[in-house]
Structure 1
Amino acid sequence: MADKPKEQYYTPPPKLGKWEGFKIFLWNSETNQFLGRTAGSWAKILLFYCCFYAGLVGFFAAMMAIFYTTLDMKVPKWQLDSSLIGNNPGLGFRPMPPESHVDSTLIWFKKTHGNSDLWTDKLDSFLEPYRSPNPEYEKNTFVCDYDIPPPEGKVCKVDISKWSPCTQSEKYSYPNGHPCIFLKLNKIYGWKPQCYNDTENLPEKMPQELKNHILSEKTLNPKVLNTVWVSCEGENPADVENIGSIQYIPRRGFPAYYFPYTNIEGYLSPIIAIWFEKPTSGVLINIECKAWAHNIVHDRTERRGSVHFELMVD
């Protein structure tokens, strides 16, 4: 008995080449489909995604608006111990090495005409806000002293015009081979120094020369004790021998009346100049400077309270 022919319930699609199949995928004239969808299907999916992303953008905008209502543009939400910065300021130095040597802390120059321009130009840029403060904020500045703190809403002026020889006109003494290095404390909102006003409890690790200086200042002018003291010295015996004498201009530290930093417009961080009067030529000198206050902890690895750099004058 002959087999019955198999019944076929559908018509198989015609076999098409790759190019013919691609053309039909782009536009199928029989079903009026573009890229596999009819106009109605495209309209529905586009409407869905427009509504979906509009809702997403609206939700994000609402969350951002609520978030910004909790912020003050001038006062950080997290301060001191609660912040990532913490409550221990770092000590920085200027001029910094070129960006091509970003990991270096070496200040190296020759005592020849024009050879030190790289470093003096960097100091010119760093000190420009101090030489020419923004006139718009002039009304916020105030000439302070140890017994004349700034009034509410004012900041203390930093006058560097008489810091000879660490001035722009004298090229910061670099052409003479007696360079000036500027030090500054990093700004931490709301931080106040706890100064060593009690000369009976000076830390053991404080250099004896600085202790003697503090004791002499106590005799001459006790108000000056309200200062974040600074010491700079060679790290090794050879460095101590080659560093030569040092002068701190205009004083031995940062007066406490410059603190706290509260983001008032026109505020400039207090700075001091370290003048190396006669460092030994042709020798690499390792130098460490430290800021001294009860609430400053020294940690070189974390760059807190101290700074290290090298100096070499050829």
Structure 2
Amino acid sequence: MASTEDKPTNKENASSWKDSFYNPRTGEVLGRTASSWALILLFYLVFYCFLAGMFALTMWVLLLTLDDYVPRYRDRVPNPGLVIRPNTLDIVYNKSDPVVYGEYVKHLETFLQRYNDSQQENNKDCIPGEYYMQDDNEDMNKKACRFKRASLSLCSGLSDTTFGYHEGKPCVLLKMNRIIGLKPNGDPYINCTVKRDNPVQMHYFPSEGRIDKMYFPYYGRKAHENYVQPLVAVKLLLTKEDYNKELSVECRVEGSDLRNNDERDKFLGRVTFRIKVME
């Protein structure tokens, strides 16, 4: 008797489970009729179209406030960082192995392509020691001051295609990050020191590591399309006593109001790299 009574109950449970997906008596699918589904889908279609319209409107209004040439807010990065080339903070090589130091040489040569005379001939010879201020014109395009690759002398890659790496006296190039409108006060220059008791002799190109004011201000990537940052080359005159030792070199922007001692940012106005030349 117990098993006979269970059979109708099981059929009822199976029927109830199927009816939750589709009920043939009422025509409901997942508990809703066709008209109910049509209304709710229409509601969500209108709702999301409204949200998309609001988003498009706010983006359009925001874009109206932006300038294609000058960022609206520029107070977050008031001082430039300092970076080196080749693009590494650890320069390690054997001066008798051209395969290894060849990677550094290739990187420097590629980087300096924009400083070739053929690329700089369209730029202007500016007056040294003076900011190159330019008034706004109709197309907003600005002229760039010419930076001669030859001013890097022994580190230009013109007279010595290995930038001194083959003789164990390597060159590194330093530049400041671009900041629109930056006009450093004073007479900025690069100064490098080796963190040890005995100093290492260095040659700077241009002379004394000067960064001329004529390359400031910068007007932005779009307006200042041909602009190139001024470079300072440092040739490390290493001796036999310096080989096979890891040397820590710190370079700073000195002689101006640019910050170079912020402990929260190790690259603000300075950069530290390590170099080890083996023989």
In structure 1, what is the Cα distance between the partners aligned to 2:11 and 2:195?
88
Q: CA deviation at 1:262?
A: 0.9
Corresponding position of 2:92: 108
Percent identity of paired positions between Structure 1 and Structure 2: 29
Q: 2:13 aligns with which of 11, 16, 21?
A: 16
Match of 2:210, as an amino acid? G
In structure 1, what is the Cα distance between the partners aligned to 2:205 and 2:230?
12
| 1:155-174 paired onto structure 2 within 5 Å | 155-161=144-150, 163-168=152-157, 170-174=161-165
Cα–Cα, structure 1 residues 117 and 30, in superposed 2: closer, same or farther, change >3 Å? farther
Corresponding position of 1:187: 178
Cα–Cα, structure 1 residues 22 and 266, in superposed 2: closer, same or farther, change >3 Å? farther
Corresponding position of 2:167: 176
The reply to whether residue 257 of structure 1 matches residue 214 of structure 2 is yes
In structure 1, what is the Cα distance between the partners aligned to 2:13 and 2:204?
89
For residues 68-102 of structure 1, the C-alpha deviation after alignment (integer angstroms, 9 at most, x for no partner) is 111102101122xxx211x22221111122xxxxx
Q: CA deviation at 1:181?
A: 0.3
In structure 2, what is the Cα distance between the partners aligned to 1:26 and 1:130?
72
2:260–2:270 CA contact under 8 A, matched in 1? yes
Q: CA deviation at 1:271?
A: 0.9
Q: 1:290 aligns with which of 248, 252, 270?
A: 252
Cα–Cα, structure 1 residues 268 and 23, in superposed 2: closer, same or farther, change >3 Å? farther
For residues 20-57 of structure 1, the C-alpha deviation after alignment (integer angstroms, 9 at most, x for no partner) is 65543433322222233221111111111111111111
1:300–1:307 CA contact under 8 A, matched in 2? no
For residues 249-305 of structure 1, the C-alpha deviation after alignment (integer angstroms, 9 at most, x for no partner) is 133221011011111111111111111133421111111111123311222531222
2:94–2:277 CA contact under 8 A, matched in 1? yes
In structure 2, what is the Cα distance between the partners aligned to 1:57 and 1:294?
50
Match of 2:273, as an amino acid? F
The reply to whether residue 84 of structure 1 matches residue 79 of structure 2 is no
SS at match of 1:43: helix
2:132–2:216 CA contact under 8 A, matched in 1? no
Cα–Cα, structure 1 residues 162 and 229, in superposed 2: closer, same or farther, change >3 Å? closer
For residues 94-136 of structure 1, the C-alpha deviation after alignment (integer angstroms, 9 at most, x for no partner) is 1122xxxxxxx2211111221212222322343333338879x
Match of 2:268, as an amino acid? R
Cα–Cα, structure 1 residues 267 and 21, in superposed 2: closer, same or farther, change >3 Å? farther
1:120–1:171 CA contact under 8 A, matched in 2? yes
The two structures have a TM-score, normalised by structure 1, of 0.72
In structure 2, what is the Cα distance between the partners aligned to 1:147 and 1:304?
24
Corresponding position of 1:309: 273
| Structure 1 gaps, min length 5 | 1-11, 98-104, 196-226
Q: 2:124 aligns with which of 142, 158, 161?
A: 142
Match of 2:145, as an amino acid? C
SS at match of 2:276: strand
The reply to whether residue 131 of structure 1 matches residue 116 of structure 2 is yes
Cα–Cα, structure 1 residues 129 and 30, in superposed 2: closer, same or farther, change >3 Å? farther
CA-based RMSD of the aligned residues comes to 2.6
In structure 2, what is the Cα distance between the partners aligned to 1:133 and 1:56?
53
Number of matched pairs:
252
| 1:33-48 paired onto structure 2 within 5 Å | 33-48=28-43
SS at match of 1:237: coil
Q: CA deviation at 1:159?
A: 2.1
In structure 2, what is the Cα distance between the partners aligned to 1:117 and 1:22?
74
Corresponding position of 1:207: none
In structure 2, what is the Cα distance between the partners aligned to 1:233 and 1:28?
84
In structure 2, what is the Cα distance between the partners aligned to 1:39 and 1:262?
62
